[in-house]
Amino acid sequence: MAVNELLYVSASEVARRIRAGEVTSLAAVEAFIAQIEAVNPALNAVVFKRFDVARAEADAADQRLRDEGADALPPFHGVPCSVKESFALVGMPNSTGLMQRKDLRSTSDAVTVARMRAAGFIPLGVTNTSELCMWMESNNRVYGATSNPYDQTRTVGGSSGGEAAIVCAGGAPIGIGSDVGGSIRMPAFFNGVFGHKSTGGLVPSTGQYPHADEGVARYVVTGPICRHACDLMPFLRIIAGPDGVDPGCLPFELGDPATVSFEGRTLVSIEFNGMERVSDELLAAQRRVVAHFESLGAVVRRPSIKGLKKSFDIWSACLAAGSKTPFGTLMGQGTPIKPLTELAKWTVGRSQHTAMATLLAATESLLDHFPAHRARLLALKDQVRGELLEHMGEGGLLVYPSYPRVAPKHHSPFLRQLTLRFEYAYTALLNVLELPVTQVPLGLNRKGLPLGVQIGATHGQDHISIAAALELERRFGGWVPPSQWL
């Protein structure tokens, strides 16, 4: 077997080959290191590397296989991976793109990272984010911007953009991301890979920065980013479950995707949220998905839910209501920044912060001045959730746009936000509804950019949206390797 074949297969297949003695863990680690070194100068996805440590860990993994045999080993023994920089990983930076934290090094692992390593994964390094994980482009003053493997003039999304980019480009078979408004799903969509936003409360966020306040802990979720759908459920099982620290994390019994049939299952398809119209090519892709499930016996509904028009406002109100620490205070590491001063500095290249983060700090408290309006939005969230779940029924599916267009050019989302175009409302609303959602790639458009769609399920039914992802990968092919790099 050629070692570079590992760059195309699933993490589960890499694990199988290591356990079977077809390839060593060290050879696998070296193959992915070589790929990172080839693509990263252009992409800027991996922002801090631990290659020598990973090699030593791979050597130890190979020795353990020789000493103990395959049956005694964890499921992903010796398999390389990547980790979003906002997760603590011993010896690695944990700045989340904030200049005041750029010299910080983690002395312990985030709980999910510790669970990954206990399952056998070997991290190769940490990947880029947006500043404090609160924007949809992975660009900050510590590391700069990450570029899309399919077209380097385009964004990778955020805030888990570095993860999605390096996984797409073959630098790791799987990685871990976090998501409060689409931060797993948008990067997965823009980079043509799979990403899963877990049910609110399924996975603890202990050891991530910024720390989620208790009121928003179930909106901030963690999940896998990978090239092959078969890795989604095994990875989710590894990281799920209470840790006794995160108050938002609850015990769930995870189901099995293999038991899911689509015959007679309700599928709700919504093509427009009343705010941002979706491009024809993405609507066509979504309709192909719906037609396929209909051919499998699914019962399709196409309801109109008027409250979706307030998706961005609902999401903003929920985050504002649940957050005790103002974003501007996080930016200043405990001391509130002066947004207008920072914006003035930014115009002459002297601010330590990105413009989008500074604008967020400037506007975040607006709803505090209108408590009655915020209360109406919180009530509207419950109404929208109730309507949606009523249409889906028990065990139903939601097919919903990921974004109004394919991966945009660098800085384009920022400019559109200035004109009040809240395009990420398609992903953001689903966080505060706490539903599990899987981002599914659906091939490339005529310009070679990824198409895709979100597949949602009802609360706690992560295995159903993952089963849908497995079926769509079988039907439409899933991840398409970017020709420039693979």
pLDDT digits (tens, 9 = 90+) for 290-304: 999 999 999 999 999
CA gap 237, 110 in Å, rounded: 16
CA gap 456, 477 in Å, rounded: 20
Kindly state whether residue 482 falls inside one of the protein's structural domains: no
- Kindly state whether residues 298 and 360 are assigned to the same domain: no
Domain with residue 95: its CATH number is 3.90.1300.10
Of the residues 82, 130, 138, 159, only one is catalytic, namely 159
pLDDT band at 2 (very low <50, low <70, confident <90, very high): low
What per-residue confidence (pLDDT) applies to 327?
87
Give the N- to C-terminal CA distance of the chain in Å, as an integer. 17
Q: What is the pLDDT of residues 182-234, one digit of tens each?
A: 999 999 999 999 999 999 999 999 999 999 888 899 999 999 999 999 999 99
- Kindly state whether residues 246 and 332 are assigned to the same domain: no
Of the residues 84, 197, 310, 381, only one is catalytic, namely 84
What per-residue confidence (pLDDT) applies to 276?
96
Which residue intervals of 348-458 are DSSP H helices? 355-363, 371-392, 412-418, 425-432
- Kindly state whether residues 313 and 346 are assigned to the same domain: no
Residue with tokens 């964004």: 155
183 is catalytic: yes
Kindly state whether residue 486 falls inside one of the protein's structural domains: no
pLDDT band at 3 (very low <50, low <70, confident <90, very high): low
Mean pLDDT value of segment 50-57: 98
Which residue intervals of 98-244 are DSSP H helices? 111-118, 161-168, 185-190, 232-239
SS3 252: coil
- Kindly state whether residues 231 and 333 are assigned to the same domain: no
Kindly state whether residue 481 falls inside one of the protein's structural domains: no
pTM: 0.97
Q: What is the pLDDT of residues 93-139, one digit of tens each?
A: 999 999 999 999 999 999 999 999 999 999 999 999 999 999 999 99
- Kindly state whether residues 446 and 352 are assigned to the same domain: no
- Kindly state whether residues 160 and 308 are assigned to the same domain: yes
Kindly state whether residue 468 falls inside one of the protein's structural domains: yes
- Kindly state whether residues 220 and 194 are assigned to the same domain: yes
- Kindly state whether residues 195 and 336 are assigned to the same domain: no
- Tokens linked to 111: 């709980």
CA gap 249, 203 in Å, rounded: 6
Kindly state whether residue 168 falls inside one of the protein's structural domains: yes
- Kindly state whether residues 264 and 398 are assigned to the same domain: yes
What per-residue confidence (pLDDT) applies to 366?
75
What per-residue confidence (pLDDT) applies to 40?
98
Kindly state whether residue 56 falls inside one of the protein's structural domains: yes
Q: Which of 162-171, 265-274, 321-330, 476-485 has the lowest mean pLDDT?
A: 321-330
How high is the mean pLDDT of the chain? 96
| 124: CB partners within 8 A, 6+ apart | 29, 32, 33, 36, 46, 49, 50, 51, 54, 80, 81, 82, 171, 172
The total of structural domains in the chain comes to 2
323 is catalytic: no
Of 432, 429, 424, the closest CA to residue 321 belongs to 432
- Kindly state whether residues 342 and 195 are assigned to the same domain: no
Of the residues 160, 183, 269, 465, only one is catalytic, namely 183
CB 3 within 8 A of CB 27: yes
Going by their DSSP bridges, the two strands 174-179 and 80-84 should be labelled as parallel
Secondary structure string (H, E, C) spanning 193-222: CEEEECCCCCCCCCCECCCCCHHHCCCCEE
The boundaries of the domain holding residue 336 are 327-364
In this predicted structure, the answer to whether residue 1 has a pLDDT above a threshold of 50 is: no
Of 157, 236, 226, the closest CA to residue 194 belongs to 226
CA gap 256, 230 in Å, rounded: 12
Higher pLDDT residue, 245 or 365? 245
